[in-house]
Chain A
Amino acid sequence: MITAARLCLFGASKNVGEAVSAIPTAAPQKQAKKRSLRAVNEHFEPAFNVAMTTQVVFRGALLTLCAGFASLAQAHNPICQCEPLDGEEIVCTGGFSDGSGAPGVTLDVISYDEEILVPGKLGEDSKLRFKRPDGEFYVLFDAGPGHVVEIDHTEIEAP
C-alpha cells in the first residue's frame, strides 16, 4: 500500500501521479495491484497535492516563527564596563549583549572639551588598559553610529 509518508519521500513539488510511477516495481506479481492503486491515486491527486502544499506552507511558517524568536533572543546592544585597577590604571571591557566580544572596536577616552586623550582599540580579549587621565573625561565605546556606550569618569570610582 502506498502511504502518504512514502509519497513524501518524492518531494512536495512532485505530483502524486509522477511519484507513483517513479516507485520501483519490486515484484512483477504485484503490478496489477499497483495499477489499481494508481487509478485511486490519480483520482485523489488534487487532494493529495493540496495536503502536501499545506505541509510545505506549514514548514515555512514554522521556520519563519523560529527565525522570529531567534531574532528576539539575539539582541545586539553594545555593552561596556570600566573598572579602576590598583594604582592609576583603568581597564575597560567591551562586548555585545548577545555574548559576543568586541576585539578591535574603537574605545576612546575623551575630555569634556572633546579632546581625545587616549585613542584606543580593544585587544583580542576585548579589553583596553590605560592610565587614568587628569581632569574630567568620559570613555566612548564606539562600535559604529548608534552603537556607542558612554561612561563618565564619575562612574569609574577610584579604588
Chain B
Amino acid sequence: MSRAAATPAPSHLGRLWYKWRFHLSALLVIIPLAFMPKYFKDVALFRGESGLGEREVGEVQVGPWSLRLAEFRQEPPRLEGPAGYMKSFNAALCQACIGQVKATYLRIGKPRSLRAAGALFFGSPYRMGASLPIPARTKADAELWITMEGWDGSMHQASIPLAQASPATLAWLDKQGGKP
C-alpha cells in the first residue's frame, strides 16, 4: 500500500489557494501602487511644485504691500482636537515687500488690535503658512482680514470675503448651521 493513497485529497479551497497564492502575493505588492498618485500629488503640494496651495485665491493688496493667498487644501476646516476646527492658508509676499514686512496675520472678522490680529503666517516669505481657527458660528458674509506689520512700525489691513477665500469653508458653515 502506497503512502500517497493514505493522504487525503486537498479540499477545493485548498486547491484554489495552492493555485493562486503566488498571484495573491503579487497583488499585495501591487496594492501600494494605487496610492502612488496621491502620494506624489501630496509631495508636489508640500514642496510647492504644484503651486502655493490647492486653490489659489489671488493677489490681495494690503496698503502699499500685496500678497498671493491660497487655500492649502481645497477642503472644509479640519478638527484639530480641543483647539476646534482649523483651516490652513498659504501666502507669498510680493517681491518688493519681502524686506519690509515683519509679520502677516489672518483673522475672520476685523481685528480689535494688533495683539489680537489672528493667526500668524510663518515660514519663508515666498511660501508662508497659517492655520486659522474657524468658529462654527461664523456667518456666511464673514470677511477674512489680513493684517501686515512692517519693520518701520506701520500696519496695513485688507479684507476679502470668506466666500472668495474659501468656498469649501462656506459650504461647511452652511452645513453646520451655526452649531459647533
User: Which A residues contact B (CB, under 8 angstroms)?
Assistant: 75, 77-79, 97, 110, 112, 114, 138, 140, 142, 145-148, 150
Contact = CB atoms under 8 A, between A and B. Distances in A.
A78 B83 contact: yes
Contact of B122 (A140, A142, A146): A146
B116 A148 contact: yes
A154 to B, nearest CB: 10
Interface of B: 80-83, 86, 103, 105, 112-113, 115-120, 122, 130-131, 133
Of A77, A110, A112, A142, which is in contact with the most chain B CB atoms at under 10 Å from its CB? A77
Contacts of B130: 146
Contacts of B112: 110, 112, 114, 138, 150
A145 B103 contact: yes
A114 B83 CA distance: 25
A146 B118 contact: yes
Contact of A97 (B83, B103, B119): B83
Contacts of B81: 75, 77, 97
Contact of A79 (B82, B117, B118): B82
A78 to B, nearest CB: 7
A78 B133 CA distance: 10
Nearest to A112: B112
B116 A77 contact: no
B131 A77 contact: yes
A150 B135 CA distance: 11
A148 B131 contact: no
A138 B119 CA distance: 18
Contact of B115 (A78, A97, A112, A148): A148
A1 B155 CA distance: 74
B83 A140 contact: no
